[in-house]
Structure 1
Amino acid sequence: MKTKHALKIKVVLALLIPFVTYSCGGSSAEDISENSASNYKLEVFDSLQFNLLTKDIWVADVNTQTGDILVIQPSPPVAWIYDKSLNAKTKLELPEDHPEGVGSFILSATFFDKDIALMGWRVVNIYDKEFNFKKSMRPHYGPTELLSLGKKNIYQFYNKDDNPQLVTYFGQPQTELHGLLEAYYDEFNIVDIVNPAMSKTPRDTVFKPLGELTPDSRFRSGRSFTSLQPRIDVSENLLFYALNVDTTLFVRSLPEGDIIESYSIPFDEFILNPGKQMGMAGATRSGGSFGHPGIIDEVFHTGEFDLIIYQSGLKRSVLDQFDRQSPDYFDKTRKANYRKYLIVKNGERLNRDLRLNPKVSSIQFVDDDGVFYASQNLQALEKEPEKYTIYKLRIVEDN
C-alpha cells in the first residue's frame, strides 16, 4: 500500500545507452567494495506461514499501518485479507463465470484507498474491505496472454489533489499493431493510468496510456523485438520501471508521466538482444545467433534503493560449450544463467554478492516499510513443507 506524501527527487540528465549487440559490462565486485562507503545485501529475516493447501499464493499488498495483508491465489481465483497475526479476516472465492468475479485468474491485486482492486485477464474490479462488489472496469484494447500470474501489475497512488488512482499493466501497449511494424514502437506506452471515480459503466474508457519510448531508445532504431514489456513498481506518486530487455531504469511522475530521472543499470554483464528485421523478414528469421539475451525479471524501489532482479544471459561462445544433445542441457544452461540481483543507489551498485538466497524462488512485492516478500524455492527443500511459506527480506549492510 503506497502512501500519499509526494516524494521529491532531484532531476538529473538522462544517460544515453549506446547500442551494444552482445553485452554491456558493469562494475566488478572488487570495484564495488573499493568505491562504496557501505556494501549491502538482501537478507531473509522472517517468514509468513500460511496454513493453506495450495501450490501458489502471492502477497499482493500490505497495509503497514494496520498490518493487514492482501493475499491472492491466482488460479483457481481466491483472495484473502489476513491480519498481522495471519488470521483470515475475509475471503473472496467466486466461480470464474460469476458476474462479480474477475474470471478464471486473479492476475494481481492492491489495496485501493478504503477498498480493494482485483485484476483479471481483462478487467479490474473494485470491492470494499469485506469483498462486497462495487464496480467493474474493462480496458478498451485487446489483452495478452504474456502476463505471469500473481506478478504485481496493479498499484495505487494519490494525485496532487489527494485523489486515489491506479496504475495498471495488462501485458502490452494500447495498440492493435504488431511488433513487426515500426509504427508499433511509435504507439508503445508503458502503463495505464486509471481513475475509478470516472467509471460509471464497465465499458467507460478510463484506462489512459502513460509513458512512451524515448526518442533515443534502441527500440526505435528500426528493429523489431518480441515480448517487449516493462518491469514496474510504484512508490509514492512515482513510477519506476525498466524494459525487460534494456539497460536503463526510468522514473516518471504520476499521473503526469514526465521523466524526472534515468540511469544506466550497473549490470555485471547483460547480453543485449539486437532485435530482428521489421516485417515478415523478421518473422521468419530464427533468432538467438548472439546467444541467450539478458532479461530483467523485476524492478523494486524502497527508500533510497532500487532492487533489480535479472539474468545476464549467455553469449553464443558460452552456449556452444554445452552439448545440445545432452539430456541435462537445459538444466546446465539454466544454472549457468542464474538469477541475480542488484542493490542500486544513485546509479551505483552496492552489493558484492549477486546471487539470490537459494531459499528464494521469486520476489513478489515490497511494502512501505521496505520489507520484501518472496516465494519459497521448493527445489531447495529436502521434504514437502507442512505450511505455505512466504519469506520476508530486507536490505541490510553487508559488513
Structure 2
Amino acid sequence: MKIWAKNITFLSLILLVSACGNQKNQASTGAINNFKLAIVDSIQVDIFANYLSLVDVQDGTGNILALRNGPPTAYILDPKGKVIRKFERPGDDPRGVGNSIHSGEFYEDGVALMGQMRLKTYDMEFKVRKSLKPHYSPTGMFFSGYNHLIEFGNENKQLFAFFGGPQVNTSPLKKEFYEQYNIADIVDPNLVISNESLTTELSNAELFKPIGEFTQDSKYLSGRAFYFITPVFDVKDNDLIYAFKDDTTLYKRQLPSGEMFEQYKIPFDKFINFNGYAMGPAGIAEQDKPSDRSGRILKVFSVDGFDIVNYHSGMKMSEMQKFDKTSPDIRQILAKEDYQKYLILKDGQRMNTRLRIPEKIASLIISDDQGYIWAQKDLSDIDEEPEFITFYKLKVVTD
C-alpha cells in the first residue's frame, strides 16, 4: 500500500509539472482563443431612407461616404453622422454614374463613384474630374451598396475595382472561363491626362488591368462548373486580402503587382463546401436537385494585424429535414439556425472561442484604417420604422 501511494504521489507531481509547463508555454507564445469583436461606439444618421450603404471612412477626417438608391444618391457625413454634402443625379445625367451607384470611395482629395460598368472621379464638391468605362462586357452579377471600390497606393493613388465579374469573353459553362478568370481590376485614373467632356467615357485595356487568377490548387480549376463565383475582399497597406464566397482558402496579394505572398486554409468550426456542378448542360439540370445549404463567406477584413472572416457554416440536407419546407417563414427559420459567425485569425490560427456575431448586429460592412469594423444595426425585432439609421463600430478586444 505504501508503494502504491508513493506511485500515485509521483504521478501527480509529473502531471502538475506538465500542466505548469503548458501554462508557461502559452504565456511565452501568447494566449490563444482570447479575443472577440465588441461594439465600442455607434453613430446615428438622420436620413430618411429604407437602407443606407456605408462604403468608406476617410483617413484623417473620419468623414463617411454613404450611398442609397431611388434616386441614386451619395452622402458625405461627418464622424457623428451629420450630412456635409449630398450628390444626387438622375440616371441619364452625364455627371452621374447611371441609375444606381454601386460603390464609392474617397479617392485622392475627392471621391470616386462606380455605377453599372461606369466609373467617375470627382472633387469634394462632386464636380466631375475623370469619366471611365471598362472595355469589356459584363460577365457576372451586379452588386449595389458594397465597398467594391478601394483606394490604395502611396504617391500614385489607384483603385481596386470589382465590377461584378471577370474580364472573360466566354461562359462559365466552359473551362476557358476558369482558366482566364481574374478577381477584379486595377484602375489608375491618373493615366488619363487630358480633360475630356462629361459625356466622353474613356475605355481601354490600359486603364483596367485584370488581377488575381485562380491558383493551381483552386477547386475552380477542377473541371466543375461554378456559376456565381463571388470574391470578398479588403485592402490594407497595399495588400489585398480575399476569399471566394463558397471556398475555404484565404489569399493575400501585393498591389498593384498582384504577387501572391500568403494563402492558407481557413480553420472553420464547420463549413459545408460546395463542389460545383457538372460542366455543360448537365450542370444546369443539377441546380434543380435538392442539395445541402452550402457555407458562405460574407466578408473578410484585415484589422490590427488580424484576419477576420464573417460567414455562415451552412447545413446538411439531413439537418434541414426537421424543418417544414412549406412554411412561409422557412427562409427566416433556416437563417436563424444557420446564424452568422466570425473568426479572428492570427498566422492562420483561430484566436476566438465566441463565434456568433454580437447581438444588435445585422451585418458587418467595412473596416477602416483605425482598426474599426463598421456594422449595420439589426432591425428584425423592431415593428416601427426607426427615427435614425444606426451604425456600430466594433474592435478586436481581449475576451
Corresponding position of 1:343: 344
1:112 aligned to 2:107?
yes
C-alpha displacement at 1:287, in angstroms? 5.3
Corresponding position of 2:224: 223
Q: After superposition, where does 1:93-112 map in structure 2 within 5 Å?
A: 93-112=88-107
- For structure 2, the 5+ residue unaligned runs are 1-25, 195-199
1:373 aligned to 2:374?
yes
- 8 A Cα contact 1:241 1:250, kept in partner: yes
Corresponding position of 1:68: 63
Amino acid at match of 2:208: F
Question: Structure 2 CA distance, aligned partners of 1:333 and 1:173?
Answer: 32
Corresponding position of 2:187: 194
Corresponding position of 1:15: none
Stretch of structure 1 that moved more, 187-196 or 372-381: 372-381
Question: Structure 2 CA distance, aligned partners of 1:144 and 1:376?
Answer: 33
Question: Structure 1 CA distance, aligned partners of 2:300 and 2:90?
Answer: 33
Corresponding position of 1:264: 265
C-alpha displacement at 1:145, in angstroms? 6.4
1:304 aligned to 2:305?
yes
- 8 A Cα contact 1:75 1:106, kept in partner: no
- 8 A Cα contact 2:293 2:314, kept in partner: yes
Stretch of structure 1 that moved more, 268-277 or 374-383: 374-383
Question: Structure 1 CA distance, aligned partners of 2:327 and 2:276?
Answer: 29
Secondary structure, counterpart of 1:291 in structure 2: coil
Question: Structure 2 CA distance, aligned partners of 1:359 and 1:381?
Answer: 11
Stretch of structure 1 that moved more, 59-68 or 285-294: 285-294
After superposition, the CA RMSD in angstroms is 1.9
Amino acid at match of 1:183: E
Corresponding position of 2:122: 127
Corresponding position of 2:12: none
C-alpha displacement at 1:38, in angstroms? 5.3
C-alpha displacement at 1:186, in angstroms? 0.2
Larger radius of gyration: 2
Question: Structure 2 CA distance, aligned partners of 1:197 and 1:135?
Answer: 9
Deviation string for 1:275-317 (max 9, x for gaps)?
Answer: 1111111122235644111111111111211111111111121
- 8 A Cα contact 2:140 2:165, kept in partner: no
Question: Structure 2 CA distance, aligned partners of 1:316 and 1:87?
Answer: 47
Corresponding position of 1:185: 178
- For structure 1, the 5+ residue unaligned runs are 1-31
Secondary structure, counterpart of 1:379 in structure 2: coil
TM-score (ref. length: structure 2): 0.87
Amino acid at match of 2:36: K
Corresponding position of 1:49: 44
Amino acid at match of 2:185: D
222 and 144 in structure 1: CA distance in 2 versus 1, 3 angstrom threshold: closer
- 8 A Cα contact 1:365 1:373, kept in partner: yes
Q: Report the count of equivalent residues.
A: 364
Bigger relative contact order (CA 8 A; separation at least 6): 1
Amino acid at match of 1:181: K
Secondary structure, counterpart of 1:378 in structure 2: coil
TM-score (ref. length: structure 1): 0.87
C-alpha displacement at 1:61, in angstroms? 1.3
Question: Structure 2 CA distance, aligned partners of 1:52 and 1:180?
Answer: 44
Aligned residues with identical type, % of pairs: 40
- 8 A Cα contact 1:359 1:380, kept in partner: no
Secondary structure, counterpart of 1:282 in structure 2: helix
C-alpha displacement at 1:323, in angstroms? 2.5
Deviation string for 1:84-142 (max 9, x for gaps)?
Answer: 34332221111111001011111111111112100111111100011111121111122
- 8 A Cα contact 2:361 2:378, kept in partner: yes
Q: After superposition, where does 1:1-399 map in structure 2 within 5 Å?
A: 36-37=31-32, 39-143=34-138, 146-158=141-153, 162-199=155-192, 202-205=201-204, 206-286=207-287, 289-381=290-382, 383-398=384-399
- 8 A Cα contact 2:32 2:351, kept in partner: no
Higher helix share: 2
Question: Structure 1 CA distance, aligned partners of 2:67 and 2:245?
Answer: 24
Secondary structure, counterpart of 1:179 in structure 2: coil
Secondary structure, counterpart of 2:385 in structure 1: coil
Question: Structure 1 CA distance, aligned partners of 2:331 and 2:57?
Answer: 37
Stretch of structure 1 that moved more, 193-202 or 219-228: 193-202
- 8 A Cα contact 2:97 2:114, kept in partner: yes
